[in-house]
Structures are given as C-alpha cells and as structure tokens.
A and B are shown apart, each in its own frame.
Chain A
Amino acid sequence: MLRIDCPWCGPRDEDEFVNGGDAHIDRPEPPEQVSPEDWAAYLFFHTNPKGVLAERWVHSFGCRRWFHALRDTVSHRILATYRPDAPRPDGVA
C-alpha cells in the first residue's frame, strides 16, 4: 500500500487514488498537419522506464483533482508530487 501525498489534500492511502498514465505528454498541433508517425508517438510510443516515471494521478475518493507524481517503478517510492501546471521537478533522481 502506497502513501501518496496529494498536493491538494496531503498524504492519503493508495486506494483513494486512480493512476492516469504518463504525465507531460503534449498533444501535437495543429492536428491537420501531424504525420501518422507523430500521432503514433503521441498516442502510443511513450517511455516505459525501469526507474523514475512521471505520471498522472487523480484523487478520486478525495478532492477529485489531478496532480503529477515522480515514482520509481522498481521500488514504488514516490519521489515528488506536484500540481499539474508545474514543470517536472529538477534534481530528483
């Protein structure tokens, strides 16, 4: 069981949250000029690191707001949580 520090509410148990996949994935623009390769990269070809992953979470059974987290996919340790409009924190291993 993870303890996840919601930037809006503070630390809560994992089962209050739902994972929302990769963070910081920008939709390519303008859509009519995006190549099939770039659409595929946007939709499917993400990183799948054995290590630190930036991902989205939603506090479904709490404030119901979204936020981002840096989590190690081997140890499951959460290195940082931050608001979705903030950039990925620097200096976090």
Chain B
Amino acid sequence: MKGRYSALAIARHALTGNRHWPEAWRSPEPRAAYDVVIVGGGGHGLATAYYLAKQHGITNVAVLEAGWIGGGNTGRNTTIVRSDYYYPESAAFFDHSVSLYEGLSRELNFNIMFSQRGQLVVAHSRHELDFQRRLVNAMALNGVDMRMLSREECYARCPILNTRPDARYPILGGMWQGRAGTVRHDAVVWGYARAADRLGVDIIQQCAVTGIRRDPVSGAVTGVETTRGLIGAGRVGVAVAGHSSVLADMAGFRLPLRSYALQAFVSEPLKPVLHTIASSNVLGVYVSQSDKGGLVIGGNADAYASYAQRGNLPTMEAALASLIELIPSFSRVRLLRQWAGIVDYAYDSSPVLGKSPVPGLFLNSGWGGGGFKAIPASGETFAHTVATGDPHPLIRAFSLDRFRDLALVDEAAAAGIAH
C-alpha cells in the first residue's frame, strides 16, 4: 500500500533526499477478464473506476488507456470548473460536480489546488446585458450562485479589462459565479488514478482498444480486443472523449456526435495580474492566470471536424485577437505553448450518457469542450449506471434516446458561455 500524502510525509521524505517516494499507482499486466472494463484512462474513466470501487464495491475493474495517464484531454483543457448552465437538468448535474470538486482534495488525499477565484463573463451591449439578466435569474432559480455585476464591479474585480472609450466591444457589465475556479488538472487525473489503484483497480497504460467483442446470440458485450490481447468483461464503459464515435463504430452503432479540435494556449509567466477567470461570449475567448504566472487562454473550437490534436491557425488568430480586445495590455505577451484536444460535441451541446444500443456497453461521451468540470459528477453517476445497469437520476435527461424523442437539452442555444 502507498503511504498517505501529508506534511509529515513531505518532511520525512525530505530527510532522505526524496529518493523513496512510492509509485503513485501500479502498472500491472492485464488479466484475462474483469467484471468491468473502462475504456479511457482520463479523468472520467478513472473517476468512474474509483467510484465503482468506493461506492459500489466493484473492484475487479480495469481502466485501459491508449496513451498515458494525463496525456489526453485531462491534460489539455483550460482547468476551469463552473456550473453556469441554463437548463435545470444541466444545472443540477454541473453544480453537483462543483460541490464534489470542493471536497475532492480531501476525498482523494491529493491536493488538486481548486482555486475558487470566480468567473466573470462580460457583456458588450445592452441586449447582451438583458440576456445575461435572464440567464442569471434562471440559474439562480436552479440554485446556482450567479449574480450580475455592474460595469464598475467588473473593473474592480478585473482592472485590466478594456476601458478605452472608443472600444469596439465596450464592457457594460457582466455575470459572475463566485464558486467557479481553476484546478490543477493533472492532479485530478493523478489523484483519481492513485485512489482507484489503492482500491484494487488495474490501470493499464499503452493499451489501445481495437475491437469490441459481442455475443453472437444476445449481442451483449463480452470483452474488448486490445493491443495487449483480448480482455473479457461483462460490462464495458466507454469514456474516450473525441474518439467515442470510433469506439461506437467498433461496436456497430452510430452516435449523434461530431469530433472537433479545441485549442488552448499558455503564455510566458507574468507577475500576478489577473485574479479571476475573465471571458466574453461575443469575442469567443476566456483567460485565467495559473499559479506559475502563465496566462491560460481558450477560444472556440476549430470550425470543422478533426481528429488532429494540433488545431489550426485561423482559430488561434481569432482567439488571440479577441484576447487583446478584452485585455489590451496583453498585446505584447508571448505564447509559450499551444495545443489541441479532440472533443465530441452533440447537436445540443449536452453530453450523451448511459445505455448504448449494445447490452452491457455504457456511454460517457459528448462532453464537447466542457468535460473537465464534469469529472467528479460524471464518474459518480457513470459508476452508478455501470454498476446497476440503470442511469443515475442526474443523467437520465442526457440519454441517447433523447435524439429520437427530440427531448434535447439545448445548452448550445441557452447557456451563458460556449462549451
């Protein structure tokens, strides 16, 4: 068993030159079969495995990761956690996720560095202000801690916002969620991996799934073919973000998803200048400052379908031009890094969760650009779904059937921010 992380452990290991820290999780050889196989060792897959073991006592579980832990979208997002969603179904789910994040460092014995610095979404016109008031009222009725800020309050919280009287996009006010914040994203995936491993879950890296085995009579899933051999499983949970359609294709069905590249950028480190998350929907940009001082910048997804984890130049140019309109003093800041993750958007920009057309195969997909903030609630509800075979009440509205029934949860049109 690995030792608990604590101040005492840091002091003890410091005395021995930090040479004896145990590995955070094992790297076992895959067994021939498991009760549950989770495909995808990102935040969602590892959180699911953790809650399967912790809350449902199912520990004969493998998490299969094609690359390495932290190398996918959990390490490629902009680390923002918030719950400013419009529809009651979304608000209930994402606000629960923020609440779980608030206790996650203690839950996992891993400091995820959740900094609840708040998120400001500015409005640039009277009409946008009206729209924000409507959103904020609806969100507040759903129990989310949203409120409007005046122009002066926006500048008080973020003095470097564009104040030019001739600004193309003047700032007239904004909406604010105080519990929103940033999280050290690697810590979330490492923390869940370590905690799941301690409960007996096998985490198998460098193990890509190449096929899904199904019973020829019942059609139910019986296992997965991988680059490290056949692994049997009575239940399979798919949590592979932008590659959900590829896995569905292996199992013989289609998903209402389209994969896009979503880019992010980090600047050179600066002294602390930005104390909130600042964003603008009209400009299509958001920015926060990391503890290392780098500006973490995100924009809209690239404009056409892609499985290439690099992103294209026109989208990058648009995001950075928007950043300079929002905060002109960043115009001479240089970027250090740029990357993209592949995200899968449903047509209503809400996730697709729960049962699939294949018995025993469960879906955790369609997070689009909003998956990171959902990780704890997604893991908890998906574990319930896989363990019991019935969708958790918090995710019933996000079933695959909603597309046939036209019961869409259309956050694409409603939410206060692109996601």
- Tell me whether B246 and A36 are in contact (CB under 8 A): no
Q: Mask for A25-48, Cβ within 8 A of B = 1, else 0?
A: 000000000001101110111111
Q: In the assembled complex, which residues on chain B have CB atoms less than 8 Å from the CB atom of A15? A: 314
A2 touches B (CB below 8 Å) = yes
Contact A1 B256 (CB under 8 A): no
CB<8 Å pairs between A and B, sample of 16? A1-B312, A1-B314, A15-B314, A36-B406, A40-B403, A40-B404, A44-B256, A45-B254, A47-B254, A48-B245, A48-B257, A48-B305, A50-B245, A55-B304, A74-B307, A75-B308
Residues of A within 8 A of B344 (CB): 48
Which B residues are in CB contact (< 8 Å) with A37? 404
Q: Would you call B256 and A45 a contact (CB within 8 A)?
A: yes
Q: Which of A18, A50, A74 interacts with B303 by CB under 8 Å?
A: A18
Which 5 A/B pairs are nearest by Cβ-Cβ distance? A44-B256, A48-B245, A19-B304, A40-B404, A45-B254
A interface residues (Cβ-Cβ under 8 A, vs B):
1-2, 14-15, 18-19, 21, 36-37, 39-41, 43-50, 53, 55, 71, 73-76
Q: Is the CB of A48 within 8 A of B259?
A: yes
Q: How far is the CB of B301 from chain A (nearest CB, A)?
A: 11
B307 lies within 8 A of A50 (CB) = yes
Contacts of B256 in A (CB 8 A): 40, 44-46
Interface of B toward A, CB cutoff 8 Å: 243, 245-246, 254-259, 303-308, 312-314, 344, 346-347, 403-406
Task: Beyond the given A36-B404, A53-B305, A71-B304, please list 8 additional residue pairs across the A-B interface where CB-CB is below 8 A.
Answer: A1-B312, A1-B313, A1-B314, A2-B312, A36-B405, A36-B406, A40-B404, A44-B403
Closest to A38 in B: B404
- Cβ–Cβ < 8 Å partners of A2 in chain B: 312
What's the dominant secondary structure at chain B's contact region?
A: mixed
Given known A-B contacts A36-B404, A48-B258, A73 and B312 have beta carbons under 8 A apart: no
Contacts of A45 in B (CB 8 A): 254-256, 403
Set of chain A residues within 8 Å of B406, measured between Cβ atoms: 36, 40
Most chain A CB neighbours (cut-off 10 Å) among B245, B307, B314, B406: B307
Given A2-B312, A47-B254, A76:B306 Cβ within 8 A:
yes
In the bound complex, residues from chain B placing their C-beta under 8 Å from that of A36 are 404-406
Contacts A53-B305, A75-B308 hold; do A48 and B313 have CB atoms under 8 A apart? Answer: no
Give the residue of B257, B305, B306, B314 whose beta carbon is less than 8 angstroms from that of A14. B314
* A38 CB, nearest partner CB in chain B, Å: 10
For B308, the chain A residues whose CB sits under 8 A away are: 73-76
- Is the Cβ of A48 less than 8 Å from the Cβ of B255? yes
Q: Are B347 and A44 in contact (CB under 8 A)?
A: yes
With a CB–CB cut-off of 8 A, which chain A residues contact B307? 50, 73-74
Bound-state Cα–Cα, A14 to B404, Å = 35
Interface centre among B258, B303, B346, B347 (most CB of A within 10 A): B258
Residue on B with the closest CB to A13? B314
Instruction: List chain B residues, Cβ under 8 A from A75.
Output: 308
